[in-house]
Structure 1
Amino acid sequence: MVKLILMNSYEYQEYITSAIEGYAKEKVLSGNWNEEESISKAKDEYTKLLPKGEKTKNNFLYTILKEDKAIGVIWLAQKSEEEGFIYDINILKEYQGFGYSKEAMKQIESVGKKLGMIKIGLHVFGHNKVARGLYEKLGYQTTNVLMEKEI
């Protein structure tokens, strides 16, 4: 069983660096951004979403622990009184495939319920079939699909 603990400032600094790099890479892979602009655009987005870092109001950034070892992160934002949004869930590569994401998702849903949320949304890149499969198994439904084709 995994445990969620709120990030401290040190954990946040480690997280934000890797999150920006990962997000920039995903945006390039999905064809949204070119590589040259990706890091600066990712930094801008994170700065807008988390202007006060891990202390940004209505944002809950957790370290995911397995037997007191940090194995990943999950970030839930409260968008309104009743709606939340999972901006990020990331399990370290060596811990993937053991069901830890599923456990963390169920726990973050409990956190959301305690905060009064009745709905939680998330975004998943179209090319991330593993994550899409997990979210569907957990009952998340597709609400929008964007498609494009290079011609």
Structure 2
Amino acid sequence: MTVRLEQMSSEEFQQYLSFAIKHFADEQIKSGNWEPQEAISKATQEYEKLLPKGQNTENNNLFTIRDGSKEVGMIWLAQITNEKGFIYGINIWEGNQDKGYGKQAMQEIEVLAKKIGLKSIGLHVFAHNKIARGLYEKLGYIEKNIKMEKTL
């Protein structure tokens, strides 16, 4: 397995955006943050704010993760400041999970981040996503804030 990151094509970006909006809405519903009837609208607004020029939004790098010629996922790194980056999304497509692609993609994005001068990378992970949390901890990411809530 040889993982490499390639800039997304326009077609890949449109496919990713459709997936990402629905996925983000679903995760917000699952987390109890949004009501189902408002989730798609809120998720769409969030993506329009983060990527006003789509894949050509300045300081945002959207990559297709490939193993050879096979597309296995995507990763999105934004440069927030000269020294700080933020991973807004990493997704390994169904059928490709649990094969090490996520770990390798994260390692590749760190190489790229260093090349552009970043000193740190942040990311958000939903609390219920235990697999991703475990991966990030193994890669050296540490929790900076924890938001807790109790439903009454």
Give the Cα–Cα distance (whole angstroms) in 2 for the partners of residues 52 and 10 of structure 1: 15
Give the Cα–Cα distance (whole angstroms) in 2 for the partners of residues 99 and 14 of structure 1: 23
Report the counterpart of residue 137 of structure 1 in structure 2.
Answer: 138
Give the Cα–Cα distance (whole angstroms) in 2 for the partners of residues 111 and 53 of structure 1: 21
Give the Cα–Cα distance (whole angstroms) in 1 for the partners of residues 69 and 5 of structure 2: 10
> Which TM-score applies when normalising by structure 2?
0.98
> Which TM-score applies when normalising by structure 1?
0.99
Report the counterpart of residue 6 of structure 2 in structure 1.
Answer: 5
Report the counterpart of residue 89 of structure 1 in structure 2.
Answer: 90
Q: Could you tell me the percent identity over the aligned residues?
A: 55
Per-residue CA shift, 1:107-134, capped at 9, x if unaligned? 0011100110000000000000000000
Report the counterpart of residue 115 of structure 1 in structure 2.
Answer: 116
Q: Secondary structure at the match of 1:95?
A: coil
Report the counterpart of residue 102 of structure 1 in structure 2.
Answer: 103
Report the counterpart of residue 33 of structure 1 in structure 2.
Answer: 34
Q: Secondary structure at the match of 1:94?
A: coil
Shift of 1:8: 1.2
Shift of 1:77: 0.1
Letter in 2 for 1:30: S
Give the Cα–Cα distance (whole angstroms) in 1 for the partners of residues 12 and 91 of structure 2: 14
Report the counterpart of residue 55 of structure 1 in structure 2.
Answer: 56
Shift of 1:93: 1.4
Give the Cα–Cα distance (whole angstroms) in 2 for the partners of residues 71 and 120 of structure 1: 22
Give the Cα–Cα distance (whole angstroms) in 2 for the partners of residues 126 and 147 of structure 1: 9
Give the Cα–Cα distance (whole angstroms) in 1 for the partners of residues 43 and 67 of structure 2: 29
